[in-house]
Every structure is written in C-alpha cells, then in structure tokens.
Amino acid sequence: MKFLFVSYNMGIWVHTFPEALIADSLRKEGHEVKFLHCDRVFNQHCTTMSAYGENEKSSQAQKEFVCSECIKNKTIVRKYFKFDTYENSSFLSDSDIREADRLLSEVTLDNFESFSYKGISIGKSSLYEPLIRYKKRSMNFSNEEFVFYKIYLRNALLSLISFIKVFDLEKPDSVVMYSSEYATNFGPFSYVQSKGINVYSMFAGMNLAHRLQSMVILKGSYWDMKKTIRKRWSELKETPVVKKNIRRVTDHYKTLFGSNSVWAYSSVKTSDFDIRDFFKIKPERKIIGITMSTYDEIFGSYGSGLQPREMTFSKLFYDQVDWVKHLTAFAKTRQDLHFIFRVHPRDFPNKREQGISEQALQLLELFKEMPENCSVNWPDQNISLYDLAEEVDLFLNGHSSTGVEMTFLGFPVVLYDPNIVHYPPDLNYHDPEITFDGYFRKIDEALAGGWSFENTRKAYRWLNLWQNRLAVDISDAVPFNDSGKPRLTLKNKLVKALVKYKYPAKERQLQSFFLPSKLKASGEIKNLFENNLENFSFLKDANVSSVQDETENIKDSLRDLYRIFYKKEIPIKANTLRDRLSRMLEIK
C-alpha cells in the first residue's frame, strides 16, 4: 500500500516524532510512505506558531523563528528516517498564489461561510481555530477576528491547492494526518473522502499520564470515531478490566487529581476546605454540583462543520445559559437542596488561553441575581473540583468530561441530553425521551440512588476502552510524557546526560538516533491499516479478568488515590466522599 502523510506542523516535535514512528513502522512492513510538508507557505500565522505562543501580530522575526524550527525538525526526520518528502511550496506557482489571493479578496463577512474550492467547503472548515481562539459562540466577527480568520482561510486554500497536485501525482491508497480538524488539514481530509479513499487521523492518547507515549489512529475524523466508539462500548461494557489496564487508568487520575498536566484545569485538592462553610450552606440541605463547559470548542466544532447539530444543541435547553435559567427556577421550588454552579476555567484567562469567552459575559450578567439556595463557583476562587466533590451528593452535567470524573469517584450524575456528551450516556442517569419532567424526575431518582462503587466500575470499564483499547503504546520509542519526566532506561539517561534541556535540537536528534529497530506495537499498527479497521479497539484483546479480580484490583488502585487525596489525618466527617471511600475500602 502507498501512504501519503500530510505533516504541516513539524515544529511541534511531540506530534512530529510519534507521527514519524508510525510511518516508519508501516514502511518496515513493506509499505510505501511519502510525506507532504510546509515550507514557509503558512508564514502569516499557523497552528505551530500558536503552539509556540505567537499570534498573528507577532513580529516577522518571531514567526520566522517558528518556521525555522519546523524546517529544523523536518531536516532531523529526513536524516534519521530517510522518508521521501514533498514541500507544498514546490506545488504552488506564482499564478496559483495570485489566483488564491484574488478568490480571497471576494470573501466578506456576508459570504465567508459559503466559500468553497473544488467542491470543498473550506470557508466553513477554516472556522475551527478562529472560533476557539476568540472563545466564540456565534458567527458575529469583529474586524480583528475576521482578519485572523482570513489568514487561516488563506492557509486552507493554499494547502488544498498544493495537496490536490501531490495527491494526483502520487495516487496514494491512504492518507494520514495529525488532527484533521486543523484548517490546513481539513481541506485535504475532505478531498480524500470525496474520492472514496481511506483517510486516517492521529493524535496523542487520552491518558494524561501516558499521553505522549501512546497514539490514537482512526479511520475518518475524531467526530466519526465518537459514533463508532459508542457502538464498541455496547459490545465491551460487560467485560471486566485486567489489572494492568486498571493501573493505567489510575495513573491518569493521579495526574489529573494532582493537577500536574497543562490539560488539567482544576487546582489541587486541599485537606481542610469546607464547602458548606465557604458557601454558607444549611446543614440539612443536600448539595448538587453543576459542572459547566466552556462553549468555544463545542461551537468551534459545530461552526466549522465538524460536529453535527444534534451533538451540539439539545432540544431541551438551547445552551448552557438556558440550562442555568431553568435550574435556578427549579431551585426556587426545592429548599431541601443547594445548587453550586461551577463555571469552567477556560471561559476566563487560564494557564493555556487568554481572553474571556462570550458565554462568560452572559453568565456574569445572569448570576447577578440568584436564589438564596444557589451559589457560583468562579475560577478565581481557586476551589478544587475535588474539594467541591467532598460534600456534593449529586452532579448535573451537560457537555463536560467532568461527568466521567465524578462517575469514577462513585457519584451519581444526571445528563440533560444523552446526545451531547462525548462519552456513553449510560454511565449516568438520563431521560431517553429528553423531556423537562423526565430530567427533573431523574434528579430525584439519582439522589435516591446515591453514591455507589458500581459507578466507579462503569467508569473504569469505559476508560479502559477510551484510554487503553483506543490507543497503541509507543513508549519503547518515546521516553517523555507531558511533565518532561523521562522513563529512566539506559538510553534515556544517556540522552539527558549528553544533551540537557538547553540543546533541544540535539535532543531531538538523539531521540531519533536511538530508535528501536522495530516498535513493539508494529503488529497492531500493521493490522489496523491492512485490515481496514476503524480504530485499535477493534483488535482482539487476549487479556481476561473475572469480576471478582476486577473488583479487588479497582479497590487496590482506589487505595492509592485515597492516599493522594487524603494526606492529612483528621476526623472523618460523615457522608463525605472521604467517609464513603474509607468505608468501602476498609481504611481506618
């Protein structure tokens, strides 16, 4: 088979190196591999520049530095992997660029969504990054925002023009790219699909502790996978998880609970925070936590055509602002309950993004007047989600992955629409008919059901599929995770001793030099592509466990997490998370 890898963002080494490993593995199995790279074509601004902290207003020297890093990494990959490569600049004539700029000059605020090239709607697909950058929830752009969008539209157009020429020249059997949602990738992605040829997306694993040491490869897009993974879950949800996979899921939560990752937004749990005292909650009231989501990625996925409407908008509540309005009205009728609305940190400036979202501006206004039994947990209060969870009885969830986290901790969770979450809705309580009466009835049903170890078991089984079965392990070639801590093999010790962190290019070269002769996962990679599988979860798993062994292994892992959560010996308050865990785990 002939594979064409579209690799425009080589300056992001943690994407580039694993991608090269996958391509190298395919080549060693006898397949033909070609690469298409960028050569300063996207020099106004691009995804890689964002990763380096540069924006469209950065100086040309700063942008040129990022371009040079891309080229430096491309040179390293060529030297050590010896791939045949093309550069997009070689397939863009002066007349191509003039024609692209002429077409773009006709794009306005009134017609940008309808812009297409060769039947591919790149006017729409180029919206993903601008919508997220400006934390949008509408298509109303300021002049500054539209300028940024047109940079990405230009990138998408030039990408597609050059890609079509390479595609027609090579006639590959399959095309592979890292993250198909990027503006420069989605045009080629859609073009290949229109030709009836397989196109694969890849990205780092879902497990924060092993994110960079695992790779997810999917036929189609991330959003295509969401449909197939629910079907796969229905086939695997009764299968007990083996010990090693339970430990890997637990590793993820050790990282998440310790807030040791840039992808973890909650602060670290404290020992003596009292949520009832902080929010002045009456002792007789049960506490309901409402986990809100930032809307930019949700709307960005929908606005760019990646995510269908039914996964974006609920027929019950139009959006989260509407959800809040209905919940505060419900709260007025329930003086036995106290509601805490947890606003997502990404709606405000945080450790990954700057700027305030359009949704946050609406919430600031909405939360000015609240019923007496409602409180708001703002990001600047620096309250850990896990401090909040200590005394909560029930969580209500919309789109957020926090629903899985709280299920993992044993909590009942109620969804208002099973179609808009990115995990199986049967992990939580929900009304299949999606009605107002059904939703509020489920709240009482979940309160009566209460905290349960079986919620934790369900979460482990789902996360085994999502984090372990969906990804392939490449840790034998990738020594570092997100925290930068190496696995201390002799090879890694040598790399660190020779290089240190001040010579990153040398480190990349040594990482490439010390490649294993063959990835341990090469057989899995070969099977995925040669057998035309949707993803790695469709490979057979020879590991088996009994429910009894699964129960004991989960409890052993929870004891490790308990020690992380509760380092301080203090009297245990009744009906708290600590009380429930200690009794279930028989910890005194």
At 173-204, the pLDDT tens digits run 999 999 999 999 999 999 999 999 999 999 99
Taking Cα atoms as reference points, which of 139, 169, 171, 121 lies closest to residue 2?
A: 171
Per cent of the chain over pLDDT 90 is 78
pLDDT tens digits for range 485-520: 444 455 555 555 554 444 456 667 767 767 888 999
| Residue whose tokens read 């034998």 | 476
Range list of H helices, 258-319: 275-279, 296-303
Q: How far apart are CA 90 and CA 480, in angstroms?
A: 35
Q: How far apart are CA 330 and CA 324, in angstroms?
A: 10
What's at 187, amino acid-wise?
G
Q: Which fold has domain 2-93+161-228+473-538?
A: Rossmann fold (3.40.50)
In contact, 127 and 303? CB cutoff 8 Å: yes
pLDDT of residue 350 exceeding 60, the answer is: no
Lowest-confidence range among 59-63, 365-369, 567-571?
Answer: 567-571
What's at 67, amino acid-wise?
C
Predicted confidence band of residue 541 (pLDDT cuts 50, 70, 90): confident
**Which CATH number among 3.40.50.2000, 3.30.450.70, 3.40.720.10, 3.40.50.300 corresponds to the domain 267-450?**
3.40.50.2000
- Maximum distance among all Cα pairs of the chain, rounded to whole angstroms: 76
Cβ neighbours for 76, distance < 8 A, ≥ 6 positions apart? 505, 508, 509, 512
Which pLDDT score is estimated for 262? 45
The pLDDT mean for the chain works out to 91
pLDDT of residue 484 exceeding 90, the answer is: no
Tokens of 356: 């305030």
Give the single-character DSSP code of 269.
P
Which pLDDT score is estimated for 497? 53
Q: How far apart are CA 77 and CA 73, in angstroms?
A: 6
Cβ neighbours for 53, distance < 8 A, ≥ 6 positions apart? none
Tokens of 441: 């009835």
Taking Cα atoms as reference points, which of 481, 555, 421, 412 lies closest to residue 252?
A: 481
Tokens of 51: 């990763």
Tokens of 543: 């590991």
Q: How far apart are CA 507 and CA 513, in angstroms?
A: 10
Strand 394-397 with 413-415, pairing:
parallel
pLDDT tens digits for range 104-128: 999 999 999 999 999 999 999 999 9
Taking Cα atoms as reference points, which of 358, 439, 352 lies closest to residue 136?
A: 358
DSSP 21-40: HHHHHHHHTT-EEEEEE-SS
CA 434, 439, 445, 449 dihedral sign is positive
In contact, 339 and 290? CB cutoff 8 Å: yes
